Chain A
Amino acid sequence: MTVKEQLKKIIVEELNLEEISPEEIEDDAPLFGEGLGLDSLDAVEIVVLLEKHFGVEIKSLDEGREAFRSINTLAAYIEERMPR
């Protein structure tokens, strides 16, 4: 399973998104607001989930702002920093 696929599965399962399946999440759709519709509390949860599942920390606002744009950017962020 690729990082993107893992991410989508984790987001749907752990954030209890009931109206969408992992396959339906588009890679470049915005995660927050009009896209996937996540909110700031989901952002808190995603930060925790990244540490738990990938061992990757979001250490600052600037890093988070860049990574949280879409599944594509989040996956790229993880792949760059994931412990080998």
Chain B
Amino acid sequence: MHKEPSAREDRPQWTSSSIGSSFQHNIFYFLIRYGGRGVSYALLNCVALYYTLFRPAIRKKADYYLIRRFKTKNPFKKLFHCYRIYVDLGKALIDRAAIGIRGPEYITITSNDLGGLFKLIHEGHGVILLTAHVGCWQAAMAQLRSLNTPVSLLLHREEGDLDLHYYEHTGVSKPFHIIDPLGYMGGVLEMMEVLKKGEVLSIMGDRVFGSDRKTASVNFLGGKVRLPFSAFKLASATGAPIVILFSHKSGTGSYEMTLDRVIRVPSHLGKSEKEFYPYVVQFAETLESYTERYPYQFFNFFDMWENSGRQ
């Protein structure tokens, strides 16, 4: 039998804590409310430039991905890429807030195959949306309201995370049910309950929460990363199809939600890395393809890669 890893071993490499202060966030919320998108983006460009030029410790967190994606060691090109990704992250955060502050109609969200998602839901086994920290996932979640099916989201919010979810600006009820991965049994019983009711469960597939035991080591952007396979285990146990769903900013005020791939996992798989490896590979390939198309909309600011000299 294995032992549960210690808290230290369980500590994730990433954090969802906000960089800016509450006051700085409120400035942006004020501008969104009374100035709109253009003014907010203008301030964002200044903030992004400041962080690019004068905050090397924070810039380093973006470099892990940017160096692998753009394969450049030219310091000026690295600065440019860093600035671009900061701007796109900032736009996603501004747009997310704008949905709540100015209303859903302020942002246009389209989908390439919402009808396909409807069909999968009607199979009656529930649907697992496997997504990632790309584009504006909350915009995608807002679009899912049109499904008229309850949506649950696996999400842990750290104490230092100051960014408000879009619905928190309006004071309306949450558009989705949140399941905390730090809850009882990692939330798996709640997740199974959701799927048994034929509802939609959304899980981020690009970050490891907890120990490495429930992960598979797969290729991603020229190196090995560990990605979680719990979603595939749930799919195997319940018969729920997995839909890889990403969103990207497609215009100044618009996002597109893309159903990139449907994965069917056979029933009765065990719980070893080997059994789930082929499915995690499919997710990693789809995510890598996303970074090729939208290189500045991938928002994982930590060293995802194994054996890359992390201390």
Contact = CB atoms under 8 A, between A and B. Distances in A.
A44 B192 CA distance: 8
Nearest to B183: A61
Contacts of B213: 39
Among A19, A40, A48, A64, which residue has the most Cβ atoms of chain B within 10 A?
A40
A84 to B, nearest CB: 23
Contacts of A83: none
A35 to B, nearest CB: 10
Contacts of A1: none
B262 interface: no
B73 interface: no
B81 interface: no
A61 B189 contact: yes
A58 interface: yes
A65 B4 contact: no
A43 B237 CA distance: 11
A60 B188 CA distance: 11
Given A19-B1, A37-B4, A40-B230, A45 B184 contact: no
B234 interface: yes
B292 interface: no
Nearest to B268: A48
B196 interface: yes
A40 to B, nearest CB: 4
Interface in B61-112: none
A47 B184 CA distance: 15
Contact of B1 (A37, A59, A60): A37
A42 interface: yes
B271 interface: yes
Contact of A32 (B2, B185, B233, B237): B185
A68 interface: yes
Interface in B178-195: 184-190, 192-193
A37 B193 contact: no
A64 B193 CA distance: 10
B192 A37 contact: no
28 contacts: A17-B1, A19-B1, A20-B1, A32-B185, A34-B4, A37-B2, A39-B2, A39-B4, A40-B185, A41-B188, A41-B230, A41-B271, A42-B271, A43-B185, A43-B188, A43-B189, A44-B192, A44-B233, A44-B234, A45-B270, A45-B271, A47-B189, A48-B237, A58-B189, A59-B193, A59-B196, A61-B189, A64-B189
Interface of A: 16-17, 19-20, 32-34, 36-37, 39-45, 47-48, 57-61, 64-65, 68
Given A44-B188, A60-B193, 18 more contacts: A32-B185, A37-B2, A37-B4, A39-B213, A39-B214, A40-B186, A40-B188, A40-B230, A41-B233, A42-B271, A43-B189, A44-B237, A45-B271, A48-B237, A59-B193, A61-B184, A64-B184, A65-B184
